[in-house]
Amino acid sequence: MGDRFGLVTEPVARVSDGEAAGDPALSRLGAYLQAYMNANGSAAFSQVMPSAPLVRAVFGHNPEDVVFSERDLPALFLWREEADAEYVAEDYLLETSDVSLLWVFPPAPQANQRLRQSFVNATWKLANLAIEAGRTPGFVVVGDMDPRAKTEGSLIYPYLGVWSIILRRRRRRTFVETMADSPSRRYAALEMNIELREQHEYDLGVFAPMSATNQTTARDRTGKVAVAVRY
């Protein structure tokens, strides 16, 4: 096994069914947010859009780049934008990625649109609460040995492979999209931005073991070994 950067290994591993090749962290984050937001927001959202969950589907791409079906709305889209990498200490490399989340709901008559606009506030706050909570009963990772997972859900953070995750900002926006099953239409959406920080972890197995012949020893006044450093 080689080095590891977030969930990306060297060599890059195959992902499970339904996960984004090359970026399984986004797939897992999307699945977790969908479970949490539906469990805690769908009942109230039914006042705005009857018989629809808050998040019907999750996709790991920008909807402006790929044609999608209106039947999947309301949907949550996740994708990475910019990223920066820096050494915060010697041999301690962190990458900071800007991840966009776009919650898109289908077109509706003006009266319904007015009701949905106010629900943007609840959706934003639910996303914040989800990241703060870290678990929900509807999200359980197969093979999770945590005894709390069966009743409270899996803790999401270790399954994202992140050093930190923060929901930074939101804004309302609209975009025009060519649909697979209808003419081009204008869609209202809530855009949220998450800051993900991922750490580069070295495969220590590639380093030669320390030699017993290369050793520096320091003793205190009683002759007791105080420091022994091998190199």
- Asked if pLDDT for residue 88 goes beyond 50, the answer is yes
What is the spatial distance between Cα 176 and Cα 192, in angstroms, rounded to a whole number? 18
89 vs 134, more confident? 134
What is the spatial distance between Cα 218 and Cα 220, in angstroms, rounded to a whole number? 7
Residue 126: partners with Cβ closer than 8 Å, 6 or more residues away: 36, 37, 40, 41, 54
- Note the pLDDT tens digit of each residue in 141-175: 999 999 999 999 999 999 998 889 999 999 998 88
Residue 174: partners with Cβ closer than 8 Å, 6 or more residues away: 186, 187, 188, 189
Full 3-state SS string of 38-79: HHHHHHHHCCCCCCCCCCCEEECCCCCCCCCCHHHCCEEEEE
Reported pTM: 0.81
What is the spatial distance between Cα 156 and Cα 46, in angstroms, rounded to a whole number? 27
Work out the pLDDT band at 200, boundaries 50, 70, 90: confident
- Asked if pLDDT for residue 53 goes beyond 50, the answer is yes
Q: CB of 57 within 8 A of CB of 78?
A: no
**What pLDDT score was predicted for residue 229?**
45
- Asked if pLDDT for residue 230 goes beyond 70, the answer is no
Chain mean pLDDT for the chain: 83
- Asked if pLDDT for residue 177 goes beyond 60, the answer is yes
Q: What percentage of the chain exceeds 90 in pLDDT? A: 44
